[in-house]
Amino acid sequence: MITRAQLVAVMPNAAAVADRFVKPLAEAMSKYDISTPARQAAFLAQLAHESAELRRTQENLNYSWERLRKVFPRYFRTDAEAQAYDRQPERIANRIYANRMLNGDETSGDGWRFRGRGPIQVTGRENYRKSGQALGIGLESDPDRLLDPAIGCMAAAWYWHSRGLNALADADDENAFREITRRINGAFLGLEERVHFWERARAALGLPGFGPVMARRMGTVRMPPGTPPVYGAEDDDLLGLDAPPAPRKRPKRTVRKAASRPKRAAAAKARPAKRIAKAKPRKAAAKSRPTAKRRSAAPKSRKKAARRR
């Protein structure tokens, strides 16, 4: 059974809402056999990302037009098209979720009515209907009932179980975790943050950390130890389900380092030239000086010349 301390260890920003969620989560996980540490760690990691650490259980779609172009280019192909939806969450939901998951067209309002709710962001009329039938609750007629922690957690655990994610979590490796992400998200968006929460959950639940092989293979999506979650407590304009995490900016090289290279190269070229110039006079002077043998031989030659005379 998950404890409050474990929940906050996985999701530090959930401290203010942990008391509302810890019991519903424990009951839902027990009902759908999310019972082993490996299953619980993967489940909590995915919920942490989808719900911004249980602080946003209703999808936020208050996008600027620039963000719409980046996140939903399929639905907003031009700047003018995106600008017509700027900061209009209801219209945005009706457009991007139209004619999908048993939703009607854009004018039906189904996109907004069945937008993501609950800790795992159940989305679309089809998922509301199926989860409601499984739980014996009329979620299709009253979608906001998913905002109740008890119902939202139970629906999240049902969704997890219905996608066969317990079996994947049992594998407890990086490929299985990626597939869990794909079955929840439809792609691999937010994978870096999901892995970050997975590492936290593994530590909180007593699972071993990534071994050297697994760490190497997950290296492209792992956050450095101690990296805070993407969503801070002050965030109000959170990204939606399909929004990728903000890319990291690489530090730029300083101008000083770039400018110093030509100077070092010029100095390196100048040094050999100076040495050669200094060496030439020394060699010439050495040739002009008489050697020790010549100096010792000179007096003998003068003596012989005097005798001949």
> What's the burial of 266, exposed, middle or buried (CB within 10 Å: 0-12/13-18/19+)?
exposed
> Is residue 95 in some structural domain?
no
pLDDT in tens, 24-41: 999 999 999 999 999 999
**What share of the chain in percent tops pLDDT 70?**
68
**Residue 220 DSSP label:** T
Q: Do residues 60 and 41 lie in contact, with contact meaning Cβ atoms separated by under 8 Å?
A: no
Interaxial angle between packed helices 174-185 and 191-204, expressed in degrees from 0 to 180 and rounded to the nearest 10: 120
pLDDT in tens, 240-278: 333 333 444 455 555 555 445 656 666 666 565 545 445
CA distances from 159 to 92, 100, 164, 239 (A): 25, 18, 9, 21
pLDDT of residue 186: 83
pLDDT in tens, 144-198: 999 999 999 999 999 999 999 999 999 998 889 999 999 998 888 888 899 999 9
Phi, psi of 37 (to 5 degrees): -55, -35
Residue by residue, DSSP assigns 16-51 as: TTHHHHHHHHHHHHHHTT--SHHHHHHHHHHHHHHT
- The CATH number of whichever domain residue 177 belongs to comes to 1.10.530.10
Q: Do residues 57 and 117 lie in contact, with contact meaning Cβ atoms separated by under 8 Å?
A: yes
Residues 286, 204 share a domain: no
pLDDT in tens, 49-94: 999 999 999 998 999 999 999 989 999 999 999 999 999 999 999 9
- Helix/strand/coil for 122: strand
Among 112-126, 158-172, 291-305, the range scoring the smallest mean pLDDT is 291-305
Q: What are 147's two structure tokens?
A: 């905002």
pLDDT of residue 292: 52
> Is residue 35 in some structural domain?
yes
Residues 263, 177 share a domain: no
Residues 294, 149 share a domain: no
* Polymer length of the chain: 309
> Is residue 234 in some structural domain?
no
Q: What average pLDDT score do residues 134-147 get?
A: 96
Number of domains in the chain: 2
Residues 50, 125 share a domain: yes
Residues 163, 18 share a domain: yes
How far is Cα 132 from Cα 136, in angstroms, rounded to an integer? 6
Q: What are 23's two structure tokens?
A: 């019991």
pLDDT of residue 91: 97
Residues 184, 124 share a domain: yes
